[in-house]
Amino acid sequence: MQEAALEYFYDKIASEEIDLLIRGGAQYGKAEETFFVENDVKTITINWMSATKLDSVELVRAGNNERKTYEVVGVQDTEYFNGAWHHFIEIENPKKGEWKIRTHTNETSAYALLVKFDSKLNKQLKFVEDGNKKNWRYIVDYEPGKNRGNTPFKLFYEIDFVPGKGNTNKQIGQKMRDFRQNQKHNVNNQVTIPDRGEGAYNITVDIEGVSPSGDKFQRTVIKSIYIDDQGNAY
């Protein structure tokens, strides 16, 4: 299952379907992440990627706060994330609500959490070009359900800019963290790439929203756009 799951995640990275949540950071000792599962999710597939191999992963399930430790078999990456270790857990018919995942290492490490949702909601979420690849828009094709604790829609995004060889802009490797958006209504929810000249613009978009049944959901979208010296975006 481990090798098949790794190949499957490679396919999903390139997929247009919005069904992944991605989190990450540095780790020494315990690392913990929280994620939400909406109603009617058939399966969640969890991939805890780390710089070190792990023997177990702990999950705290939604609802009754049940803690369960899963023994995991690490699969070392030799492609996209060369040298990283993948640790997979698959949960069928997960309870809706807040989940927590925890790991521990005695070594200095880094990690990334990827949660893949097998959910009918995926097909109702879209992140599409708005005229051209410099402008993007997030849209949904349903009416968000009522939920006192959550706004219908929130979008946060970060753009990493790597200038091209012909770019004389001195802002090499600049992270444009100030391009963030927090909208209460899913109308005109746009991401616009700022003009920094020729180079690669890597966009990470974190989406939080409310499903038709009023459940909180989370997704991540990643786009890579190249703008040439004539201003054309690819």
* pLDDT reported for residue 155: 83
Number of Cβ within 10 Å of residue 21's Cβ equals 23
Tokens representing 165 are 């060889």
pLDDT at 121: 95
Quote the pLDDT of residue 182. Answer: 42
pLDDT of amino acid 88: 93
pLDDT of residue 170: 52
Helices assigned H by DSSP within the chain: 2-13
pLDDT digits over 52-74, tens only?
Answer: 888 899 999 887 778 999 999 88
Determine the Cα–Cα distance for residues 222 and 159; give it in Å rounded to an integer.
Answer: 10
Q: What residue ranges do the domains of the chain occupy? A: 2-118, 130-227
CATH number for region 2-118: 2.60.120.380
pLDDT at residue number 77? 81
Contact 44, 74 (CB under 8 A): no
**Low-confidence spans in the chain with pLDDT less than 70:** 1-15, 149-150, 166-188
